[in-house]
Structure 1
Amino acid sequence: MTKLYFIANNGLHVCEYNKTAAIPCQAIDQYKKNLDEIRQRKEWKMKGTGAQFMGANRFDSEDGYGRAFTTDAVILDPQNIIYSARLDDGTAINVKTTLNLQEAEGLILRKNDFITHDIALDTFKKRLILSVQEQQGYATHLCILPLDSNHFQFITEGECLDANPFFDPNKADQVYYDSCGLAVGQNGISYGPREICHLDLSTGELQTVLADQKYDFFRPQVDLQGNLYFIQRPYLRSGHTTSPLGFLLDILQAPFKIIRAIVGWLDFFTQRYTGESLKTSSGKTTGQNPAVDRNMSEEEIFVEGNLIKAQKNLEANAKQGQKFPGTIPDSWQLVKRLPTGELELIKKGVMSFRVKNNVIYYSNGKHLIALKPDKTEEKMTDARLISKII
C-alpha cells in the first residue's frame, strides 16, 4: 500500500491503508505558542472600553494566530520529509522524521522577509528549488537552496508569478514550472494566462513549453518515461476594463454607493455596541449575525484564484455518472504530453495530482483517488480541497 502525503485545509496529512491522519508541524506549533505568550503579556492593552473602541481587542485573523500554515512538502528519503510553512510574512523549512512524529525537527531555513509557496527536491544534487514571494511584493520567483547551506540563489526574475517547480527525474539540471505575468494598477492586480516553462540550470536556457491565451497550464510533472503531465483549464481574464458606458454608469451609481457605505458604517457600530443590526432580510431582523438567516443556494470557494461553485459541480459530475464525483468543474483537465508532442486527456475535474510508479493519484476536490494503468480507479480517502499531493 502506497503511503501518500498531502496538504489540505492548510495542514499536512498522511494517507496509508485508507486511513488519514494529520501530521504535526513543530515550526507552526511553536510559532503559535510564541504568539500566545506575547499576547498574554500584552493582554492588559487588549481589554477595556477604550481598547474596544479603538479596535485593539481584535486579532489579525479568525483564529487569533495570524497566518501560520503548511504550504508544501517533499519526501527526502523513506524516513524523512521536508515541509515549508508560512509564518505570517516569513517562512520556515524543516526536516521531519516519519518514524516518530513527536521527535524534534531539523531546521533547514528560517526567514522573516519572504514566503515560500512551493518546493521541489533534486535528489541527485541534494538541493531544493523554492517558489518564494519577497516582502512588500506581489511577484513570486524561483531560487535554489542547497540542503547543506542556508544560502540561496534566485534563478528567475521579473513581474510574474513563478510557481510549482518540478525537477525532471531523469535529468538533474532540468526544471519545469508554470508562470504568468502580472500587472498592478488602480483596480488591483491582473494576471496573464499561465504557461509551462522549461529551465536548464546548467546553461540558463529558458523555453516556453506550453502557452495559449485561452488556457492556464499549470502544475507540471515529468515521469520516468519523459511524459509531461499538467492541468489545463480555461483562462479567466482578471482585472477591470473601462468603457464609456461603464464610466457613465459608475457616475450615476456613485450617490447610491456613498449612501450604502454610510449605512454600512452605522450598522457596524450598532452591531458592535448593541448586538443588533440596522439591516433586515425578508422583513425579519437579522440580529447579531446577518449571515445566519441567509440561505446560500450553493457553496462557493476559491481554488487557485478561481471561484468554484462546489455544490453545482458536484451535482453535475454525479449526473455524468462519475464513480467518485467531485467539486471541481470538468473544465479542469489533467493532460499528458508525450515526448513526441502529442496530447492525451487523462481525467476531467482534477484539482491536484501526483504520478508515482505509473499510478496517477489525484484530487477532485472531494476525494483522493488512484488512477491505475488499466484505467480503473480506487478511492484512497475522503478529503476536501487537497491542494498538493506529495
Structure 2
Amino acid sequence: MSDDNSTPRTFSAPKGTYDLLPPDSATFLAVREAVAGPLRAAGYGYVETPGFEQVELFSRGVGESTDIVTKEMYTLTTKGGDQLALRPEGTASVLRAALQANLHRQGNLPVKLWYSGSYYRYERPQAGRYRHFSQVGAEALGVEDPALDAELIILAADAYRSLGLREVKLVLNSLGDAKCRPGYRAALQEFLRGLDLDEQTRERIEINPLRVLDDKRESVRGQLAGAPMIPDHLCDDCRAYHASVRALLTEAGVPFVDDPRLVRGLDYYTRTTFEFVHDGLGAQSGVGGGGRYDGLSEMIGGPALPSVGWALGVDRIVLALRAEGVTTEVPAATDVYAVPLGEAARSALFPLVTELRRAGVAADFAYGGKGVKSAMKSANRSGARIALVAGDRDLADGVLQLKDLSSGEQWPVQLDQVPTEVRKLLG
C-alpha cells in the first residue's frame, strides 16, 4: 500500500491475458452466439462449471504426459491443503459435473451439453496464444454412434460458415480404440526408440508415444517421416466407424482432409479426432477441435460412458474473421438517445426511456446535465438512429422533437405517441 507522499501504483492485466472491452467485445459475443445458437437448436443444454477443479481431475483425465499438465497448468494449494488447478480445458470439468449430477442415469442418452467460459494455461504469449482464453464447447455423453460424431462436426462447420468464414479447413483422423491402439503403440515405440531424441522426449515415448507425433519442434518432426501411421493399424470396427463418419460428413457437404498424424494435445481421445485450422493465423492455426473420448469417464472414476465433443476458440475465431476481412453483424448498442434540455425535460424523458427499454428498444440518456451540443455529440457516438430532444417550450406544447440522426430530419411528436413513432421508424 502506498503512503500519502507516493504516487499510487497503476495496474495492468497480467502478462498473456487481455481485457475484453467495447466495441471489440460485441464481436466476441456475436461469435459465441453464432456457435451456441445451432447447439441449442440441436438439443444441447447449457452447463457451467467452476473455474478451478481438483488437480487430479486433469492429471488423470487430460494426461500426466501432456504439456498442459506438466508445463501449463496453474495450480494452487488452499488453506485447507487441497490441490486445485485453474481449468485448462472444459471437457473433463463438464464430464465430472454430469457424473456428479447423475445425468447419465436419467434415461435420456446422449446427454447433450454446451458451455462457454475462460480457460487458463501458462503459455508463452504470442498472437493467438494467451494464458487466459475463451472457448465455446459441446459434449455428447453416453452414446457411441458415428452419427453423433458427425453431428458435432457439422454443427461446428456450420457455425464457422454462418459467421462468413470461408478459409476454415477440417482435418480428420482416427486414433483407434482399446483393441487396436496397443498394437500401434508398440510399433510406434519401437520406431521412436531408434531416433536421436532428448531425455524428456524419450521419457514421453514410454508414457504416451502419440505425444511425440504432436511435437512441434523441427528437430523432432524431421525424424518422424518414416513413423508408422495409426490408420494402417486400425481394427475392422474402428475402420468401419471412421468410414461412417467420413461418409456422413461427405453427404452433409462438409469437406475434410485426412491427416494420419493428427493426435491433438490431450490423452483422452479415441477413434474420431479432428481439428479446424485457418491458414491465415500463422503458427497458431487451430481455431477449434475435438474428438471422441470413450474411456475418459472411467479414467475419472465414472462408469463406461462413450462420449464425443469439441471446443472452439473464440479468440482464434475473431482473429480468423480479421484475417479474412469479415465484419460480423453486431446489433446497435443504442437505437434511441434522449437529450433533455433542462430539469423539466429530464423529469419527462427519463421515464420515457424506461418505457422504451421495457418495450424492447435499446435506449440511452444524456446523463450529467450536458449542454445540447455535447449531448448531440454523445448521441452520434452512441450509434443511435434516433434522438429525442425536449426543452421547456416543447413540453409546454406536449411534444418533443424526434430527430433522425442519419438524415438530420427533425419533427415534433406528441409525447404519448413517441413509443409508437419510434417503433415504426426502427421497423
Structure that is richer in strand per residue: 1
TM-score of Structure 1 vs Structure 2, range by shorter chain: under 0.3
TM-score by length of 2: 0.22
TM-score by length of 1: 0.24
Bigger RCO (CA 8 Å, 6+ sep): 2
